[in-house]
Structure 1
Amino acid sequence: MPELPEVEVSRQGIEPGLVGQTIESIQIRTPKLRWPVPTEILSTHGHVIRSVTRRAKYLFINTDVGSVILHLGMTGYLRVFSQNTPLKKHDHLDINLTNGQCLRFNDARKFGACLWQGVDDEPHVLISALGPEPLTDDFTIDHLYTRAQGRTCTVKQFIMDNKHVVGVGNIYANEALFLAKIAPKRAAGKVSKARYATLTGYIKEVLAAAIAQGGTTLKDFSQVDGNPGYFRLHLNVYGRSGEPCRRCHTPIKSQMIGQRNTFWCPSCQR
């Protein structure tokens, strides 16, 4: 499933082809993805795309009348190219521009979404309760440590909860905990403030590095230009069960935690 770095890479890829362009029409081929596609998105016809932004794993195509919100789900991807480009199976939505280009949304499993937020609307219900963005100044040591107090869930489940911080998906939670030398099964409320300071820094570092490498391609994700994400070449623990730890050579362990596959070094991480 695309995580925050992959969604940010997608945003960066489509932004140059969209900002400043006028929406000619929106073609909805599939009226229901994860949820029904709102017909309110058609109100953007004739309006200029002012910006393309991201909140957590949601992309916002912003105009003066509101925002088309896109979520890639598990297998979705976006491409900007000529409106004459032949359709592929699972091409569900086109945002056609007056310059002859279009933004096309493809999603094989239809777990992605197209939503709407009018310019005068309250924040969408799926957005309103989200925690801070990890790569901003709002995500601090004090924030993470304070939210962790008294919590008995594992620290891995805690940092993956979007109410506390958005976008720390499974791959990057495993990697940040490895770098911080924190065992993923440790109770969130039992981690010291000093260790949360280290973890906060590594969450930022891992996510920024993944964005710089074009995200992580394990199966479905590719960048807007079709190339894979290369951060998978830098993974320390994720997907390496039984292989030697890059620091101490102890075999990496794996276990399901919160229904997600978890990888860690039993020697380095305590």
Structure 2
Amino acid sequence: MPELPEVETTRRKIEPLLRGRIITRVEHDAPHRYRDTHLAVGRRVQGLSRRGKYLLLQLTAADAAEDTPHDLEFIVHLGMTGGFRLEGGKHTRVTLSTEGGEPLFFNDPRRFGKMAVVRPGEYAGMPTLAAMGPEPLSDDFEETGFVRQAGHCGAVKPWLLSQKPVSGVGNIYADESLWLARLHPAQTCLTPAEAARLYAAIREVMAAAVEAGGSSLGSGVGNYRQHDGLSGLFQHQHHVYGRAGQPCERCGTGIVKTVLAQRGTHHCPQCQPLRPAGEGA
């Protein structure tokens, strides 16, 4: 957490507060975690995009024409508990001020969030971003290539979490997509039929989660909220994630929680059996 739907919701909510404004100050006390942010001061935010779980602010000179290509990117990774707020607090790590706008406060209780200002595309210090797969709701995420790769994958859930076959799918949405596709999280070497089901499931789950504003779990201080404090709503549509011991909504079998590749993993043992290697679906 946060995953693509939460980051996309954040982007949509804060873009109107930043687009077209000149950054006047970036305050923090952790230059090793928030690298070269001073380079953003005096720059105009031309736009705000997202790549997987990363936010990318496109920056230009303050006096540049509107259609001038951006020459710097302010990259933000929310980590596990990071998020922007309209008010500061004891967990505020970064304060972002703009000319004529209200400041935005980056709160991050567990301090896993990161920021960096770089030249466009210079992601050598961010290997996950540099090697990220296509966006799941874009035309670049095409079925043929995904099916071909899935035929040679290891355990399918860790493969999805690597961000290489498709970007932005984290623990929650991998579990939900695999349930919808009726695939065991540890299944390897998917058949073409299995991979096609998973491809469709990822697109369906991600579209629904973005529409619902992401998932807000629990009431702890580090749990995802939108910048105005509102919760996401997709947690009310979870079929397996966070439902260990509860009946599967498809067959009634109790949902099981295990650990796979050091990540808590939820599945239905009846609907998502582990197919023996070499057997077709």
The TM-score normalised by the length of structure 1 is: 0.89
CA distance in 2, matches of 1:101, 1:30: 21
Q: Is contact 2:248–2:268 with CA below 8 Å preserved after alignment?
A: yes
1:121-177 CA distance string (max 9 Å, x none): 6344422111111111111222222222333x2111122221221111111111111
Q: In structure 2, what is the equivalent of residue 48 of structure 1?
A: 44
Q: Alpha carbons of 1:252 and 1:36: their partners in 2 closer, same or farther (altered >3 Å)? A: closer
Q: Which residue of 2 aligns with 1:174?
A: 175
Structure 2 SS opposite 1:176: helix
Query: CA offset at residue 241 of structure 1?
Result: 1.4
Matches within 5 A, 1:1-270: 1-27=1-27, 29-32=28-31, 35-39=32-36, 41-64=37-60, 65-79=71-85, 81=86, 87-119=88-120, 122-126=122-126, 127-151=129-153, 153-187=154-188, 189=189, 191-219=190-218, 220-270=223-273
Q: Tell me, yes or no, if the aligned pair for 1:117 and 1:124 is still in contact at 8 Å.
A: no
CA distance in 2 between counterparts of 1:70 and 1:260 reads 24
Task: Determine if contact 1:217/1:231 at 8 Å carries over to the other structure.
Answer: yes
C-alpha displacement at 1:226, in angstroms? 0.4
Q: Is the 8 A contact 2:2 2:79 kept in 1?
A: yes
Q: Could you report, residue by residue, the CA deviation over 1:187-209 in whole angstroms, capped at 9, with x for unpaired residues?
A: 1x1x2112211111110111111
* Unaligned segments of structure 1, at least 5 residues: none
Alpha-carbon separation, structure 2, partners of 1:254 and 1:36 = 33
TM-score calculated relative to the size of structure 2 = 0.86
Inter-partner Cα distance in structure 1 for 2:155 and 2:95:
41
Does the 8 A contact of 2:213 with 2:234 survive in 1? yes
Count how many residue pairs are aligned between Structure 1 and Structure 2: 257
1:141·1:193 contact (CA, 8 Å) conserved in 2? no
**In structure 2, C-alpha distance between the alignment counterparts of 1:71 and 1:141, rounded to whole Å:** 28
Q: Does the C-alpha gap of structure 1 residues 114 and 205 become closer, same or farther in structure 2, counting only changes over 3 Å?
A: same
Identity %: 39
The one-letter code of the counterpart of 2:50 is R
